[in-house]
Structure 1
Amino acid sequence: MLGAIMDAAVAWIDGIARETMLFAAVGFLIGGLDDLAVDAAYLVRAIRRRWRGSTVPVMADFPLATCTGRIAVLVPAWDEAAVIGAMMRATLGRFDHPDWRLYAGAYPNDAATIAAIGAVAAEDGRVRMVLTPRPGPTTKADCLNALWRAVLADGAAEGRAFTAIVLHDAEDVVHPGELRLYDHMLRHADAVQIPVLPLPDPASRWVSGHYIDEFAESHGRQLPVRHALGAGLPFAGVGCAISIAMLARIAVARGGVPFDEASLTEDYELGLTVRALGGRGVFVHARETPQGPPVAVRAYFPATLATAIRQKARWMTGIALAGWDRTGWHRGWRDHWMRMRDRRTILAIPVLAIAYVALLAWGLDEAVHWWRGSEPAAIDGDMLWMLYANVALFLWRMAVRFGMVRRAYGRREALRSIPRVFVSNFVALFAARRAVVRYAALLRGQPVRWDKTAHHFPTDLPA
Structure 2
Amino acid sequence: MSSLPTSWPTFSWPAHPALQWLAVVEHELLLFAAIWFAIFAIDELAVDLVWLRIRLSGRASTPRLTQPCNSELNGLAVVLVPAWLESRVIGPMVRHAMQSWPQRNLRIYVGCYRNDPATIAALSSLAPDPRLRVVVHDRDGPTTKADCLNRIYRAICEDERRSAVRVRALILHDAEDMVHPAALTLMDRALDTADFVQLPVRPEPQRASPWIAGHYCDEFAEAHARDMVVRHHIGAALPSAGVGCAFSRRAIDRILVARSSNEPFAAECLTEDYECGLLVHETGGRSVFLRVRDQYGALVATREFFPSNLVASVRQKTRWVHGIAFQGWDRLGWKCAAGDVWMRLRDRRGPLVALVLAAAYLLVVLWPLIVLAKFAGLAQTVEDGLLLKALLAFNLACLVWRLVMRAVFTGREYGAVEAVRAVLRFPVGNVIAVLAARRAITAYVRVLAGGRLRWEHTVHHVHVSQTAIDGPSQIASAKERSIPVAA
Sort the TM-score into its range (normalised by shorter chain).
over 0.9
Tell me, yes or no, if the aligned pair for 1:305 and 1:427 is still in contact at 8 Å. yes
Listed as ranges, the matches of 1:181-196 within 5 Å are 181-196=186-201
Aligned partner of 1:284 in structure 2 is 290
Aligned partner of 1:441 in structure 2 is 446
Tell me, yes or no, if the aligned pair for 1:16 and 1:361 is still in contact at 8 Å. no
Of 37, 43, 50, 2:52 maps to 43
d(CA) in 2 for partners of 1:12, 1:377: 10
Aligned pairs, how many? Answer: 456
- 1:149-178 CA-to-partner distances (Å, cap 9, x unmatched) read 212222232232220011100000111111
Aligned partner of 1:83 in structure 2 is 89
Of 138, 159, 167, 2:172 maps to 167
Instruction: After TM superposition, give the deviation of residue 373 of structure 1 in Å.
Output: 8.9
Of 139, 145, 148, 1:140 maps to 145
Aligned partner of 1:20 in structure 2 is 29
- Give the root-mean-square deviation of aligned CA atoms: 1.9
Q: 1:309 to 1:127 in 2, by over 3 A?
A: same
One-letter identity of the residue aligned with 2:240: F
Of 268, 272, 279, 1:266 maps to 272
- 1:122-174 CA-to-partner distances (Å, cap 9, x unmatched) read 52221110112322111111111111121222223223222001110000011
d(CA) in 1 for partners of 2:37, 2:384: 18
One-letter identity of the residue aligned with 1:26: I
One-letter identity of the residue aligned with 1:19: E
Listed as ranges, the matches of 1:36-435 within 5 Å are 36-49=45-58, 55-60=61-66, 64-65=70-71, 67-120=73-126, 122-254=127-259, 255-289=261-295, 292-372=297-377, 376-435=381-440
d(CA) in 1 for partners of 2:241, 2:448: 25
d(CA) in 2 for partners of 1:101, 1:343: 35
d(CA) in 2 for partners of 1:35, 1:127: 44
d(CA) in 2 for partners of 1:89, 1:5: 74
d(CA) in 2 for partners of 1:354, 1:421: 17
Q: 1:362 to 1:63 in 2, by over 3 A?
A: closer
d(CA) in 2 for partners of 1:159, 1:241: 22
Pick which of 244-253 and 343-352 moved more. 244-253
- 1:275-307 CA-to-partner distances (Å, cap 9, x unmatched) read 110111110101102x61110001000000000
TM value normalised by structure 2: 0.90
Tell me, yes or no, if the aligned pair for 1:96 and 1:177 is still in contact at 8 Å. no
One-letter identity of the residue aligned with 2:288: V
Tell me, yes or no, if the aligned pair for 1:197 and 1:298 is still in contact at 8 Å. yes
Which structure has the greater CA radius of gyration? 2
TM value normalised by structure 1: 0.94
d(CA) in 1 for partners of 2:412, 2:270: 32
Tell me, yes or no, if the aligned pair for 1:276 and 1:330 is still in contact at 8 Å. no
d(CA) in 2 for partners of 1:39, 1:390: 16
Q: Could you list the runs of 5+ residues in structure 1 that have no partner in the other structure? A: none
